[in-house]
Amino acid sequence: MPTIVHHATGHTVVGMDTRLGGCGGSRSQGDSPAPSVARADGMARAVPDYGAAHRGPARLRPDQLWPARQESPLVSAKSSLRSPASAAPAAIVERATTTVRAARRRADSNTVSAPAALVRGQTAVAVATVALAGFAVLFGLVRTKRSAATDVAITMRVQARRQPWLARTMAFASWAGFPPQSRLLPIVYQGTLWLLGLRTEAVFQLLAWGASGVSFSVKRLMRRPRPDHPQIRVAVARIGGTSFPSGHVLNYMGTYGFLAYLAHVQLKAGALRRTVVGGLLGLIGLVGPSRIYLGHHWFTDVLASYLLGTAYLLGLTTVYRWVKAWQLGSRG
């Protein structure tokens, strides 16, 4: 601090440093205060400091020494981490929505109008009646055990062919009917139709899966044992319950039969429709012989399931057309 001499009293007075840098700051070596004297009225008068030019560069203010306030590195890190985490779910939802919309556009471009689908889906009630009649005849024959000899003879003839490619084909045809895939695949088909915007079709696909419930009910009524004959091979598989009718065949007729029907009435004519319908019908056609080849069912079990499944499928498609016609009428 500068020293001031008061002329009136002779006392030494401590004054304030009026130079740049404020009071109380430390000085570098050689940085002496500017001299000042007291006037007669007691006020201090500064004396020019002629040696300031030789004391080096002036000191900087505190605000010149320290940079402007910046955001804390920890806060900055938190901000950078928070944004991607919060944006990730939104990006996933947006990507899924875009995928579903693209699938719907592809479905719309490959499907026909609803009126055209209704015209294509016309079926005769007489076919279902004949199928139910044939099932009733088989039910009576099996119930009275009049088909045993025929069943054994047909099974032995089918199993006489033992080519490796045939065994693999038969195993593949039956694969979708075993658990757990027999319970998972129908849900996948229903969910796919729902996501494509085919809500009515998804509901009826669920009802098509109900053919397995019909099989369960008839099995409990008939209670026919599965094939057990010394000359018949029985492939190892997860099977249980009774034999009549074949649950595989009836389930395929409902689930894959209705999928084939939807492909036929919804898809535009072309290679795609032929491939899908042909593949599904081929799978349905192979599953029956595969059940006999693997020794899991008798011939009459399989035939009864084809007949009962045909009646079930025709009844389901008829109700489906009624519902679609009602929807078109309510919208129009």
Question: Which of 180, 118, 184 shows the shortest CA–CA distance to 318?
Answer: 118
114-133 per-position pLDDT tens digit: 665 555 555 567 888 899 99
277-290 per-position pLDDT tens digit: 999 999 999 999 99
Model confidence at 326: pLDDT above 90: no
Sequence-separated (6 or more) residues with CB below 8 Å from residue 65? none
> What is the pLDDT, as a whole number, of residue 7?
46
> What is the pLDDT, as a whole number, of residue 190?
94
Q: State what percent of residues in the chain have pLDDT above 90.
A: 43
Query: What is residue 61's DSSP assignment?
Result: P
299-310 per-position pLDDT tens digit: 999 999 999 999
The continuous run of DSSP H or E covering 102 comes out as: helix 73-109
* Cβ atoms within 10 Å, residue 69: 6
CA 229 – CA 299 distance, rounded (Å): 14
Average pLDDT (247-263) is: 95
> What is the pLDDT, as a whole number, of residue 90?
76
Task: Tell me the CA end-to-end span of the chain in Å, nearest whole number.
Answer: 99
Sequence-separated (6 or more) residues with CB below 8 Å from residue 215? 245, 246, 247, 250, 251, 305
For residue 33, give the amino acid letter.
Answer: P
**Residue, of 1 and 275, whose pLDDT is higher:** 275
pLDDT band at 18 (very low <50, low <70, confident <90, very high): very low
pLDDT band at 269 (very low <50, low <70, confident <90, very high): confident
Give me the residue label for tokens 């002496």. 32
pLDDT band at 100 (very low <50, low <70, confident <90, very high): confident
27-58 per-position pLDDT tens digit: 444 444 545 444 444 454 555 555 544 555 55
pTM greater than 0.95 (yes/no): no
